[in-house]
């Protein structure tokens, strides 16, 4: 009798709880499925679904279930990222080495970027009226999905204590962003569209750059009217670039021009996310040089070795050299790291050995640039196009193999990858075009010159058969002594691209939405394939 009474009480309590909480079964089957997808593989599935149901039951007659689910899923990811920042911050007193301190700082910055990028995606959800808004959403979610991996990678070479403490929250953020991607994919065809706007291919972006500033980009550096002048000899307002960056306005809506006079500037410089729309102008490659020698062997994280790093959106650099002189014996040593969306580099030289250019995330364009290195010297998970660039391979250590790219796409939903288009690979030592850093690595070489050092196989494994089925590596209409295809790898993920329609996906117009924003920079570019 007692057992029956207990069972009855439990039944009544459960029934009351179901009445008080929003009921999953009161939702359409499609919404139930989407909620399941948004919380799949999270550490507390019940809590996740409960929070989502609460969010979407909040009365909002102007917002359908589909949009509310996306909004709720985005808020879950943002809140988890904020919790992870708090967790990481509490680890600071436990850090005892340079690398641990650098890794914690990396994580704080990267999680802050994730919060910002998910928030940007959230704002785009109700604006999905054309391909431009969808491109923005996918780009920002792609970046937010990778930041946590970079955070954890910073703890490599430590004793693992702090990595263990940080991992749980970081994995949860990654899972929630990945799920958000999947929910977006499933809803994409049914999300109510706003008023369709006519797509204007060369429309200018409000607040991006004025006509006067366009003339600056085209003109001679010495004739520019700059907001700040840096000169190591004291003839400018600032003697170091770091000082000029510190004084630059935060969240600028107009182009802020920093002119760096000829000279060698030995400093490590970082433009944080708040430093938007900065334009950095030098007097020429090899004439204006920013140089440093931070490296992994010294105890820095790879992320923090960068001589110059930029996260602020809308960055432009021209006529300048970014250099890391650490040498091949010091392993990872970044000359330039880029997390800046819609960033552009024109007539810049990027010089290092291992891990020279960290194209970490978001949309990037390189034109008429020189890039020097040994191992994985163009790497990261950015959405980057290199056009009319010259790629120079350097002699590595005796036991090393030269690989140009190591692209880090980790999820099939990400729209990231590297496209080397109409460029020149001057390979004077045995060279491979790339190897897969992450499972869905994606790189193409198109209509480019491949020098004699490019090996017949073309591409190199990372570790055994890792990613060989899931990567996407392609070659299209290349030429030169290293372009022969007869001896190329036979991996399932490698493609000899013969269809121009496939190659067009990796052009400026399609891959980085460049026809929308590059015209305003007045940096020359080719939107499509070369005829």
Q: Supply 102's token pair.
A: 């650098």
Give the CA angle between residues 240, 245, 249 to the nearest 5°.
Answer: 145
DSSP 274: T
Tokens 């439990």 found at: 10
CB of 295 within 8 A of CB of 333? yes
Q: Is 376 a catalytic residue?
A: yes
Q: With left for phi above 0 and alpha for psi between -120 and 50, is residue 157 left, alpha or beta?
A: left
Nearest to 71, CA basis, from 111, 38, 46? 38
CB of 195 within 8 A of CB of 127? no
SS3 of 446, please? strand
The residues, any chain, with a CB within 8 Å of residue 139's CB and separated by 6 or more, are: 341, 362, 363, 383, 415
CB of 313 within 8 A of CB of 276? yes
Using CA atoms, how far apart are residues 491 and 489, in angstroms rounded to an integer? Answer: 6
SS3 of 286, please? coil
Q: How does DSSP assign 315-355, residue by residue?
A: -EEEEEEEEE---GGG----SEEE--TTEEEEEEEEE-STT
Backbone angles phi, psi at 310, to 5 degrees: -135, 130
Backbone angles phi, psi at 178, to 5 degrees: -60, -45
Tell me the Cα Rg of the chain: 25
In the set 319, 341, 376, 513, the catalytic residue is 376
Tokens 């190329």 found at: 488
List residues with catalytic annotation. 376
């Amino acid at each position: 009798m007692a057992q029956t009474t207990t069972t009855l009480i439990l039944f009544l309590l459960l029934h009351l709880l179901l009445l008080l909480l929003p009921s999953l079964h009161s939702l359409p089957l499609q919404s139930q499925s989407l909620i399941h997808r948004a919380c799949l593989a999270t550490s507390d599935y019940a809590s996740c679904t409960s929070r989502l149901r609460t969010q979407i039951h909040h009365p909002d007659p102007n917002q359908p279930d589909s949009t509310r689910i996306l909004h709720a899923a985005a808020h879950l990811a943002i809140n988890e990222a904020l919790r992870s920042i708090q967790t990481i911050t509490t680890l600071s007193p436990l850090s005892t080495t340079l690398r641990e301190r650098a890794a914690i700082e990396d994580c704080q910055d990267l999680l802050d970027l994730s919060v910002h990028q998910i928030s940007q995606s959230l704002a785009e959800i109700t604006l999905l009226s054309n391909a431009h808004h969808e491109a923005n959403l996918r780009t920002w979610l792609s970046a937010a999905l990778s930041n946590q991996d970079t955070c954890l990678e910073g703890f490599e070479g430590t004793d693992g204590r702090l990595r263990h403490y940080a991992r749980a929250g970081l994995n949860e953020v990654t899972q929630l962003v990945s799920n958000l991607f999947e929910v977006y994919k499933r809803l994409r065809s049914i999300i109510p569209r706003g008023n369709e706007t006519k797509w204007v291919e060369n429309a200018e972006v409000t607040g991006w750059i004025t006509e006067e500033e366009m003339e600056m980009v085209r003109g001679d550096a010495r004739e520019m009217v700059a907001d700040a002048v840096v000169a190591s000899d004291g003839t400018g307002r600032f003697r170091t670039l770091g000082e000029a960056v510190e004084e630059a306005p935060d969240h600028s809506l107009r182009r802020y021009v920093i002119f760096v006079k000829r000279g060698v500037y030995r400093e490590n410089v970082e433009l944080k996310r708040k430093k938007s729309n900065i334009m950095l102008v030098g007097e020429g490659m090899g004439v204006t040089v920013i140089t440093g020698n931070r490296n992994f062997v010294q105890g820095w994280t790879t992320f923090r070795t960068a001589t110059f790093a930029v996260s602020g959106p809308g960055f432009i650099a021209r006529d300048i050299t970014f250099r890391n002189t650490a040498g091949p014996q010091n392993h990872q040593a970044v000359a330039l790291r880029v997390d800046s969306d819609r960033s552009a580099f024109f007539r810049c030289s990027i010089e290092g050995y291992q891990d020279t250019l960290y194209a970490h995330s978001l949309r990037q364009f390189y034109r008429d640039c020189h890039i020097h290195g040994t191992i994985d010297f163009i790497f990261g998970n950015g959405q980057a196009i290199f056009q009319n660039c010259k790629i120079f391979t350097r002699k590595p250590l005796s036991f090393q193999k030269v690989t140009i790219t190591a692209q880090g796409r980790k999820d099939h939903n990400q729209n990231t990858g590297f496209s080397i288009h109409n460029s020149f690979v001057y390979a004077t030592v045995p060279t491979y075009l790339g190897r897969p850093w992450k499972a869905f690595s994606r790189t193409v070489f198109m209509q480019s010159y491949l020098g004699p050092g490019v090996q017949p196989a073309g591409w190199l494994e990372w570790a055994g058969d890792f990613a060989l089925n899931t990567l996407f590596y392609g070659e299209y209409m290349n030429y030169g002594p290293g372009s022969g295809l007869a001896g190329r790898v036979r991996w399932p993920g490698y493609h000899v691209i013969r269809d121009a329609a496939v190659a067009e996906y990796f052009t400026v117009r399609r891959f980085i939405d460049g026809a929308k924003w590059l015209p305003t920079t007045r940096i020359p570019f080719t939107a499509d394939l070369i005829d």
